[in-house]
Copies of this chain bind each other. A is one copy, B any other.
């Protein structure tokens, strides 16, 4: 049965190979759509638009099933191989070194959306080709659209990227990307510049330093959850976006109060996601654990005037 979920994500579903200073995993379920949808599923029903090969196992599928993620727009290509990424993190855990990328079925990914998916009110365009992001955006009659991107597209397809940025409501990127995209080392000026290109808001992920929200007339920033051990940073940005968009879709409104709460929920989901490989931590996360860190964020940032 075809149902419209409040939230839809288009992105990658991947099988990762991860090496960190604390251990390695040969076969780790990953991809932007995976981390996003698992995080968002704690807040709302979410559907995934992506592609997999027939090496995608029942154990892999179980993650989506457990979290009741709608997979009717997850194409499975017979005889195809799922997108693979191998990466390694050093001791500072800030940047991943890509060891190998195999696009496989992702090379010919042509997102096909069901009619019900086309009526989704909240849409997230994960980090894929800007032209594909725009094609999906144009197919969906969404009320609120957010997107991610990365340095690869900023450097190689800047014009296509700008066209896609022009047709979304929110851009969710990290701070090095914001500076590179705007060609401006000062983040505040970079943000102002990007906001003249179309989006109503820019969400900047700053890793261990937290996150910031820029709109044309407001600024909000919070530190990151103070984690003593980050185990695997893979998917931090996507689980942030999943918490952010999931909360907005649940609240079903876009105002400053709701947006600020959404930034906190995004930060909470990212903080749990990095504690273990893949989605392992989120798979056994409890709603009360989300609430607990949300309240801790208030304690960490509160001061009296």
Contact = CB atoms under 8 A, between A and B. Distances in A.
Nearest to A227: B188
A203 to B, nearest CB: 14
A303 B264 contact: yes
B303 A260 contact: yes
Given A212-B223, A223-B222, A223-B223, A228 B303 contact: no
A260 B192 CA distance: 30
B260 A188 contact: no
A209 interface: yes
Interface in A90-105: 91-93
Interface residues of A, number: 39
A300 B297 CA distance: 14
Contacts of A298: 303, 305
A209 B294 CA distance: 21
B304 A230 contact: no
Nearest to A214: B226
A257 B303 CA distance: 7
A197 interface: no
A275 to B, nearest CB: 13
Interface of A: 91-93, 185-189, 192, 206, 208-210, 212, 219-223, 226-230, 257, 260-261, 263-264, 294-295, 297-298, 300-305
